Amino acid sequence: MDPLGIKGTFLFTPVVHGDQRGSFHEWFRGDSLRSLTGHGLNLAQANCSVSSRGVLRGLHFADVPPGQAKYVTCLRGAIVDVVVDVRVGSPTFGQWEAKRLDEENRRCLYIAEGIAHGFMALTDDATVVYLCSEPYAPGREHGVHPLDPAIGVAWPSDIEPLLSDKDADAPTLDEARRSGLLPDYQECLDYYAKLGLPT
């Protein structure tokens, strides 16, 4: 489990055991996640999305507390998975990181509460599953526009992005900040501490 540059995000590369029958790997272990990162994941919901090449989902986040931590992997095909620090007051506010998750590397991404998440499908039938610490609650869910030039995510330039109407209508990071939609970094840290997580 390797920490990324945004506090609360980690990349996990599992050991894949393969033979003539196929392969096997542990893609999630709660005890390992907590021991390696200090973060746990209270499993409340599991999601699966299947996307055509170019589909861009996100950037999504939820009000903190309780927020929604996620543990994401790509079972089929390939995606570029992106996290953006939208926690106002964070030293890395507005910064993003992208990692390729695919059916060969089997990597997983952990995203703590208060951090925005999104991905673009690099292949047809890209199948993404993610574990969530809280169930979906429409009144607490928000997004920022994934193509906001002020964030400047370097999505693949050779793929035309396909967004839902909701994501296409999402505010920019600055609009979301001015309207009070974004989580506060100190409130996130206080919530992490309440959960027993390192701050």
Q: Which domain holds residue 184?
A: 2-196
Q: Which of 5-9, 11-15, 150-154, 163-167 has the lowest average pLDDT? A: 11-15
Average pLDDT of the chain to the nearest whole number: 94
CB 16 within 8 A of CB 8: no
136 is a catalytic site residue: no
Catalytic residue of the set 39, 60, 117, 142:
60
pLDDT tens track for 7-45? 999 999 988 888 999 888 888 888 888 887 887 788 999
Among the listed residues 71, 110, 130, 191, the single catalytic one is: 130
Q: Among this protein's residues, is 110 annotated catalytic? A: no
Q: Which residues of 121-131 are buried (b: 16+ CB within 10 A; e: fewer)?
A: bbbeebbbbbb
Predicted confidence at residue 26, as pLDDT, reads 85
Supply the CATH number for residue 77's domain: 2.60.120.10
pLDDT band at 73 (very low <50, low <70, confident <90, very high): very high
Counting the structural domains of the chain, the total is 1
